[in-house]
Every structure is written in structure tokens, then in C-alpha cells.
Amino acid sequence: MAENSFSRFAKVLNGEMPEDRLPIVEWAGWWDKTINNWKSQGMPQELDGIGVKKYWNLDVDYQHWFWPVGPGVNSKCSDGHNSYFIENMDDYLAIRPDLYPEEVYFDRNHWTKIAAEQAKGDCFTWVTLQGFFWWPRVLFGIEPHFYAFFDHAEAMHKINDDMANYHLRCLEVFCECCQPTFLTFAEDMSYNHGPMLSKDMFDEFMAPYYKKIIPAIVERGIVPIIDSDGDVEPLIGWFEEVGLKGILPLERMAGVDVNRIRQQHPEWIMMGGFDKTVMHLGEEAIRQEFERILPAMKSGRYIPSCDHQTPPAVSMDDYRLYRRLLEEYCTLAVK
């Protein structure tokens, strides 16, 4: 049977190699400036995100991001990142009636159609959930969130327990329409020098809630993956302990090395890892980067992609070259 977008992706997640090539994906949506630049260089103006993926002949994926906020919440958004700032448990309890809505919001008709596409092998699907570091930070704001581990521990636990219960409800309802191939937890709990919290804090405030939800995810045949930027290598052992199976985006500028990760974590799933800062530097630089990550590509359980979003400096000609070489090396990896 000929390979397709779904079979290739599912095989790699399962530790198998596709017969023809690794998946060719851009898992993160493009920057608007990148798309605008491409449209000024001749890309059709009407293309949306999926249209751009099809334009570049990528393996198409569809993502749904669950946002646990009802229509009535009164935000104090002042930083441009949709943060609903609270200061303590009383504030949280005051806005809680407008969080975790009973009705799980997504377009059921749309996702039923996408599920049919996935069943034919034309795409793969995934969902994103708020992580247990990410979501309290949204509520408290970035700096107050760090103090909240010490000053508002009860609220932190209440928030994450509520979030875990909401996740379970989202999965149950969504899977009635579409079975995701994998899911990500949005976390971003590292910067370019390592974790933003200690292992003890992870074990106290985050691990119990991952352990609460991950068995239900795995029982449904969905692969749970963490999404965290920065230097994530010190965290992988923590994530393995709670049942997570992989990570993205593996940012090279933070020193992350996919080959080192593979040596230390043979079963770990990886996605990303290609240094996006070389994508506009010509064929030699792009080939050197593919040569660097080729051992990991050959090792299995790794889907190469740029290590976040294609920068605006990458022209259509640059991306066309990158896309051609990506396919070349994705084919070479399975031979």
C-alpha cells in the first residue's frame, strides 16, 4: 500500500520508518510577515494557512487549540497576550464561572469533515491544551506567576486541577468527532539557559496533573507531546516520568542538539530541530544543517522541521530550496 500523509506521520510516532520518506511538515503556523512577504513575491493572495501548506506540497495537518475561556470573562489584558491577570485565590474564584465552559467550543461539522480526510490518509490532526505551567502564567501574568509558586500555592493547585478536568472533558467531546493523531501541551517553561523552575516545583505543582490526564490520552491512542521553547534538554527526564512521549520545537539557538537527545533518550519523539536561522543562507548552509541532523533522522521517532516558525527573512526562493532539500534528506533518512 502506498504511503500517505497520515501513515507516514503515524509510523514515525510509533517508532517505525515510512517506506518512501519521512513526513514533510511545517507544524507551526507561519509568521504573518513571512506570508505577507511571500504574497508580495507572487504567492496567491487568497491562500490561508492550509492553502499555504498545500501550495508548498507539504503533508497537511490540522490543529485545534482549546482555549478554556467562556464568552463572558472580564479580562484585564494589558500585555497583548490574552492574559487574564489575577492576584490571588479570591480573584481566581471570581472569574472561574467564566472559565472552563460546559460547552466545549469547536466546529463539530468542520472537524467531522477533517476526520474523514484523515481516515483517507490525506492529513493528520492534533490538538493543543494549556499546560500546567502555561495556564497559571496566563492567569497571574508572567512575573507574578513565579511568586505564586510560593505565595499562592493553594490557588496554583486549584487552577491546575480545574484545568486537568477541563482537558478530560475536551478530549471526550472532541474525540466523538475526530481522533487526534497527537496532542501538545503548551508550556514554554524553559529559556535559552534552561528551565524556569526547579524539579521540586515541577513535581509539586505540575506532575500530579500530568499524571491525572496522560493515562486518558494514551488510552485513546493519542500521543502526548510537550511544546516548550528554549533549552529543554534538562527537562526531558522530568517529562518522561509523567508519561509524556516527545517534544517540539527543539530550538538550535538555545543549544538543543537532537543527536544528543537521541543518544540519551532512545525512545523519545522529536519534532523540529532544524536551525531556522540558516534557511535564507543558501544551499551549502542548508545542506550542512541537514547533514548535522541526519543521524537523528535515521534513528527514527524524529520528524525534522524548522525549529519554530519560518522567519520573514526567508524568501519564496529560499523556502523553495529548503523544501527541496528537506524532501531529499527525508528520503535519504529511510534508505
Residue 266: give its domain's CATH number: 3.20.20.210
Query: With bands split at pLDDT 50, 70 and 90, how would you rate the model's confidence at 283?
Result: very high
Instruction: Give the pLDDT mean for 6-32.
Output: 96
Residues spanned by the domain of 34: 5-332
> CA nearest 255: which of 179, 167, 192, 321?
192
Task: Please list, in sequence order, all residues whose beta carbon lies within 8 angstroms of the beta carbon of residue 296, skipping any fewer than 6 positions away.
Answer: 258, 259, 261, 262, 270, 273, 302, 304
pLDDT value for 72: 59
Cα dihedral 63/69/75/76 (nearest 10): -60
> CA nearest 34: which of 310, 262, 275, 318?
310
Residue 36 has pLDDT above 60, yes or no: yes
Instruction: Give the pLDDT mean for 282-288.
Output: 98
Cα 148 from Cα 284, distance rounded (Å): 48
Tell me the per-residue pLDDT of 57-67, one tens digit each, with 9 for 90 and over. Answer: 999 999 999 98
Instruction: Give the pLDDT mean for 288-311.
Output: 96
Say if CB 190 and CB 229 are below 8 A apart.
yes
Residue 29 has pLDDT above 90, yes or no: no
DSSP SS3 for 303:
strand
pLDDT value for 79: 45
Instruction: Round the average pLDDT of the chain to a whole number and report it.
Output: 94
Cα 25 from Cα 5, distance rounded (Å): 10
Residue 77 has pLDDT above 60, yes or no: no
Cα 164 from Cα 211, distance rounded (Å): 10
pLDDT value for 263: 98
pLDDT value for 246: 98
pLDDT value for 71: 65
pLDDT value for 83: 58
20 DSSP assignment: S
Task: Please list, in sequence order, all residues whose beta carbon lies within 8 angstroms of the beta carbon of residue 243, skipping any fewer than 6 positions away.
Answer: 210, 211, 214, 215, 218, 224
Instruction: Give the pLDDT mean for 134-157.
Output: 95
Cα 306 from Cα 274, distance rounded (Å): 4
Number of domain units in the chain: 1
Beta-bridge mates of residue 305 = 273
Tell me the per-residue pLDDT of 237-250, one tens digit each, with 9 for 90 and over. Answer: 999 999 999 999 99
H or E, element range at 333: none
Query: With bands split at pLDDT 50, 70 and 90, how would you rate the model's confidence at 80?
Result: very low
- Report the percentage of the chain scoring pLDDT > 70: 96
Of 10-14, 29-33, 89-93, where does mean pLDDT reach its minimum?
29-33
State the DSSP string of 194-212. Answer: EESS-HHHHHHHTHHHHHH
Query: With bands split at pLDDT 50, 70 and 90, how would you rate the model's confidence at 84?
Result: low
Instruction: Give the pLDDT mean for 38-63.
Output: 97
- Report the percentage of the chain scoring pLDDT > 90: 88
State the DSSP string of 49-92. Answer: HHHHHHHTTPPPEEEEE---B-TT------SSS------SHHHH
Residue 222 has pLDDT above 90, yes or no: yes
